[in-house]
Amino acid sequence: MKTPTRRQILAAVAGTGLVAVGAGPVRAASGLAPVELNQSAQIQAGDSLPAVALDWRETVNGVVTEDTGLTAVSTDRTGDVGLVVDEAVLPGDTGAVTLRATLVDAGEGETVGSAELALLFSLTETAENGLTEPEREANDTTPTVGELQDATEIEIWNDMGIGTGNGSNEDIPFLTDGDDVIASGTLATVADDPAFADGGYGLTRDGESCLTVGEAVYVSFRWAIPIDAGNVVQSDSARFTVGFAARRCRV
């Protein structure tokens, strides 16, 4: 049996994430159909919202696998952005990603100097990818819908750390925002969490939702495939989106 490549791609683009469990490598990123996030919200003719720059740090099973430098100045101007996570994982695997989203000048025409940032999360695919013999022996009888979304645990939180995201969910009582859990549970339950309804979860910094260009917020998420998930999730995949979008500040 070929060992899966755990790390395939992690990129700051508008797109989707894929978590897959199986005996072979996960599908290449070029085979994924991206989810388009809104990149053209206008306030008035000629005025556009700031863009969002994304930096991140990722660990898989306690080892740092990607680090774009969370302490550096954001330069990757991508408009509204999402995170592509393409992992081949096994029961017992865990991982975490800390994201920094910074409002930056859009660079086209007149850019409004402030905006709100919304956190988006959606589960867009739950595929079985065929039934293997071990899955059948584990009483998996669904030929088209996988079970990985019901087995994978995920927790998403505001990760302000000591002014910056540090990848740990901590109780920091002297901070206005602290490290507050936004949603937790299985991928399936988090996708239905009301926190992400009505245009996404509104993020704040120092208690303020209207952020100016140059200000950043930190969000982390942690995932885990329980060791006892069993063969029922073999070959299954679950595609999800974690993204940020700039919105007009509410008066």
Give residue 163's identity as a one-letter amino acid code: G
Mean pLDDT, the chain, rounded, equals: 67
Q: What does the alpha-carbon distance between residue 20 and residue 4 come to, in Å, rounded to a whole number?
A: 10
- Asked whether residue 137 carries a pLDDT value surpassing 60, the answer given is yes
User: For 145-188, how does the pLDDT look when each residue is reduced to its tens digit (9 = 90+)?
Assistant: 777 888 889 999 988 754 444 444 444 333 334 578 999 999 89
Q: Both tokens of residue 151?
A: 């087995």
Pick the range with the lowest mean pLDDT from 54-58, 134-138, 172-176.
172-176
- Give the CA count within 13 Å in the CB-facing half-sphere of 91: 14
Cα(20)–Cα(71) distance, integer angstroms: 31
Could you tell me which residue, 39 or 121, shows the higher pLDDT? 121
- With contact defined as beta carbons under 8 Å apart, do 50 and 217 qualify? no
Q: What is the pLDDT of residue 67?
A: 64
pLDDT band at 195 (very low <50, low <70, confident <90, very high): very high
Confidence class for position 52, pLDDT limits 50, 70, 90: confident
pTM of the model: 0.72
Question: Tens of pLDDT along 205-242?
Answer: 888 999 999 999 988 888 888 888 777 777 777 777 78
**How many Å apart are CA 220 and CA 11, to the nearest integer?**
15
Which pLDDT value is given to residue 30? Answer: 23
pLDDT at 66: 64
- The residue with tokens 């393409």 is 86
Q: Using pLDDT thresholds of 50, 70 and 90, give the confidence band for residue 34.
A: very low
Q: Which residues contact 180 (CB under 8 A, 6 or more apart)?
A: 157, 158
Instruction: Return the minimum-mean-pLDDT range out of 92-101, 120-129, 214-223.
Output: 120-129
